[in-house]
Amino acid sequence: MPAAPDTVFDAPTRKILPSTAVLRVGLFRHAETVQGAERLCRGQADVPLSAVGARQSEAAAAWYRAHRPAPDRVYSSDLVRCRELAEALTAPLTLDERLREQSMGAWEGRSWRDLTEENPALTLDYWRDFVHARPPGGESYGEVYRRVAAWWGERPEVDGRIVIVTHVGVARALICLWLGLGPEAALRWAPGYSSLTEVLLAESGAVLERFGFDAWAS
């Protein structure tokens, strides 16, 4: 597959656009972690990739290098499960803890099954209002959305090409933010391990070009 061509606007389109600057974003979710097949509440625990995940991460980076122009910058969560893919893209890299997964506090490292059996009412209340409810000692998803939005508003790029390597919760927040949706819509998006979502961003709006592409993940 050839590299995606740069967007070219015809003269009538240029006249009506507030700006012809286009930022091309490649959004990766990290690859499979150890115990990735289990429904664990990982949160910000710095868990490593599984053997499968290491292969996924290497393959995803190789595909991107072969099929896309080199990004101007890669932004990544500083947790190891994201860094391995981010570093393999061999582009200028910025690590930022604001791209970490949602902090799940005392629930981190535990299975959702055990949490539900131990305190079904508390777990059910969390999922009924995940935007506002906080796990014990953790943060709500609304807080994740706001920290991700603050980070996004600080980056300098309005044109060019960047890659973001992060976690499913942050990826969901970014997609909602770009499409003008609130955090309550986050669970509509479920990108898989090591998958790539590509978005064009301009002053006139966002275009979701590709969602959850993962041909290398098997």
Return the active site residues. Answer: 30, 101
In angstroms, the Cα distances linking 184 to 38, 43, 178, 201 are 25, 19, 14, 22
Strand pairing of 23-29 and 196-202? antiparallel
Residue from 28, 27, 26, 25 nearest 194 by CA: 28
Alpha helices in the chain (DSSP H): 11-16, 51-67, 80-88, 112-118, 120-128, 141-154, 168-178
**Terminal-residue alpha carbon distance, the chain:** 19
The DSSP secondary-structure symbol of 173 reads H
Distance (Å, whole) CA 69 – CA 135: 41
16: Cα separation from own chain's centroid: 32
In angstroms, the Cα distances linking 145 to 132, 181, 209 are 11, 11, 22
Q: Sign of the CA dihedral 73, 74, 75, 79?
A: negative
